[in-house]
Amino acid sequence: LHQWLLAFLTAASPCMAQIPVIPDWSADEASHAGFFDNAASPVAGHPSIGSLRRTIFYAAANYVGSLFKPSYPEEFIQVRATFSNLGPGVIGYGGPIGYMNNFGSLHPQYRPDTDYAWALANHIAGQTLAPGNTIDLILNSHGSIPFNYSTNNTPPPNTGVESLFVTMVHEMIHGLGFVNEINPVSGSYPGYP
């Protein structure tokens, strides 16, 4: 999946204006972990692994923001981002912090009785309906998940090494509302579609 996503992302053409995507690293900063881990960096020019992770976040956030033109002047997307021990086998998690519906909008993509991820609701409404963090991004700090720290190439497939850049982009996109809440057995979903 990550190889496909990287191919798509490198082929996409960014817009001239873009939506700023900004981090909320407060949980990691308070615990001196994850994005503020002081362990030595594996890449020259970065004093710590935390500073390297922040650099990769900014690159991924800049890329995601470049895919969209703002619908109102002060529009931005705020991401609650942290590293946490998710156990072996999980690379990360990303998703909307919440959903809203029936807020009304003249935007041609707006539909009543439809759930919109908070960042998307803000965009379609043309105003900030959900302030603060709208996307949740959790990356695995478990030692069984080795990350590649490049922003311009990915590790070969089936090596067990994951691209931190591609993982961040992938999970941020989930946070914009690219999710599947449908129960595969019953076909039902919580709330509105």
pLDDT per residue over 164-181, tens digit each?
999 999 999 999 999 887
DSSP per position, 128-151: -SS-SEEEEEEEE--TT--EE--S
Taking the C-alpha atoms of residue 97 and residue 118, their distance in angstroms, rounded to an integer, is 7
- Tokens standing for residue 56: 């990769």
Tell me the pTM. 0.86
Residue 26 CB contacts under 8 Å (≥ 6 apart), including other chains = none
Question: Is 106's pLDDT higher than 50?
Answer: yes
Residues 111-157 have pLDDT tens digits of 999 999 999 999 999 999 999 999 999 999 998 889 999 988 778 77
Q: State residue 16's pLDDT score.
A: 57
Question: Is 65's pLDDT higher than 90?
Answer: yes
Cβ atoms < 10 Å from Cβ of 100: 17
Taking the C-alpha atoms of residue 144 and residue 160, their distance in angstroms, rounded to an integer, is 9
Taking the C-alpha atoms of residue 190 and residue 193, their distance in angstroms, rounded to an integer, is 8
Question: Is 27's pLDDT higher than 90?
Answer: yes
- Using CA of residue 185, residue 5, residue 65, residue 126, what is the dihedral sign? negative
Could you tell me where the DSSP H helices lie in the chain?
2-11, 26-31, 49-66, 118-125, 164-175
**What length does the chain have?**
193
Mean pLDDT of all residues in 9-32: 79
Taking the C-alpha atoms of residue 173 and residue 181, their distance in angstroms, rounded to an integer, is 15
Q: State residue 155's pLDDT score.
A: 81
Q: State residue 187's pLDDT score.
A: 76
